[in-house]
């Protein structure tokens, strides 16, 4: 059974860069699309970006594209997210989630527990 | 970007009742790429329905999904106490995914 675990700093200063890692176990990250999704407290879900094809493919939310970099490390089975120039509006729980490739895709069947990132000085 | 609008924002029902949640898309969505999720407090969302009407692994058959084009529905036939939560719809088109704003299903 696949497991996803987010890790990284829980506090980031305004204007700095948020960096998170998702460690995947029970599946190869080369097999599917791996996504970052965030959720501000009390609000809805926002898809950020995904990576697939062993890092050769990437899709980004146009609203965040200028500040986001997503990458993968197949040797560690990890997905990384970098979000630059953060503000308080980037405070949220960040989730890593899997979109299974195959006949049925386009949805997120497995999620990490999420990591709260607060942007504050 | 396809915007998903869920209604109602809050739905107050009692256990045993039937729940009908709606999601309307600003443009037509391929029904293969439409899903529903359940989220409880302090938990990650859980996939309920994918491909408009397919239940995810382990999801009880009281949950069902339907719809096409711009109008989709999640139905819970008889509410159990554990069903009270927030529900989100989600679509995938092109290189983008979007979610609805959520429906809060609360105990009446």
Model confidence pLDDT, tens digit, residues B48-80: 999 999 999 999 999 999 999 999 999 999 999
pLDDT band at A30 (very low <50, low <70, confident <90, very high): confident
Q: Quick check: B65 contacting A, CB < 8 Å?
A: no
Q: Is A80 within 8 Å of A73 (Cβ atoms)?
A: yes
Are the Cβ atoms of A105 and B100 closer than 8 angstroms?
no
Nearest-CA distance B18 → chain A (Å): 24
Residue in chain A nearest B102 by alpha carbon: A44
Q: Which of A5, A45, A53, A113 to substitute to test the interface with B, most B CBs within 10 Å?
A: A45
Whether A55 shows a pLDDT value over 80: the answer reads no
Residue in chain A lying closest to B41 (CA): A42
Residue A104: the pLDDT is 80
Average pLDDT, chain B: 97
Give the residue from A93, A92, A79, A21 showing the smallest Cα distance to A50.
A79
Q: Please, what is the average pLDDT of chain A?
A: 95
B94 pLDDT band, cuts 50/70/90, is: very high
Residue A82 contacts residue A17 (beta carbons within 8 Å): yes
The count of other CB atoms within 10 Å of the CB of residue B74 is 27
Q: Give me the sign of the Cα torsion angle B30, B9, B40, A23.
A: positive
Say how far apart CA A52 and CA A94 lie, in whole Å: 19
Asked if A104 has any chain B CB less than 8 Å from its own CB, the reply is yes
Residues in chain B within 8 Å Cβ distance of A68: none
The answer to whether the beta carbons of residues B83 and B105 sit under 8 Å apart is yes
Are residues B70 and B61 in contact, defined by beta-carbon separation less than 8 angstroms?
A: no
Q: In the prediction, which pLDDT does A31 show? A: 84
Of B88, B91, B92, the CB nearest to A45: B88
Q: What Å distances lie between residue B20 and A113, B23, B66, CA to CA? A: 28, 10, 11
């Amino acid at each position: 059974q696949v497991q996803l675990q987010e890790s990284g700093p829980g506090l980031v200063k305004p204007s700095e860069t948020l960096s998170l890692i998702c460690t995947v176990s029970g599946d190869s990250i080369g097999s599917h699309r791996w996504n970052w999704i965030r959720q501000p407290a009390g609000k809805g879900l926002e898809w950020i970006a995904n990576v697939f094809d062993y890092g050769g493919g990437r899709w980004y939310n146009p609203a965040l594209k200028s500040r986001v970099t997503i990458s993968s490390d197949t040797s560690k089975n990890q997905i990384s997210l970098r979000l630059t120039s953060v503000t308080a509006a980037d405070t949220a729980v960040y989730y890593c989630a899997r979109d299974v490739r195959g006949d049925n895709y386009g949805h997120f069947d497995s999620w990490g527990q999420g990591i709260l990132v607060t942007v504050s000085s | 970007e396809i915007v998903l609008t869920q209604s109602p924002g809050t739905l107050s029902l009692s256990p045993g009742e039937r729940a009908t949640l709606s999601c309307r898309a600003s443009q037509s969505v391929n029904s293969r790429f439409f899903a529903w999720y359940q989220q409880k407090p302090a938990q990650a969302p859980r996939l309920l329905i994918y491909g408009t009407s397919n239940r995810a692994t382990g999801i009880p058959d009281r949950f069902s999904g339907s719809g096409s084009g711009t109008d989709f529905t999640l139905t819970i036939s008889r509410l159990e106490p554990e069903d009270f939560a927030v529900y989100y719809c989600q679509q995938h088109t092109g290189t983008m995914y979007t979610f609805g704003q959520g429906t809060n299903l609360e105990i009446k």
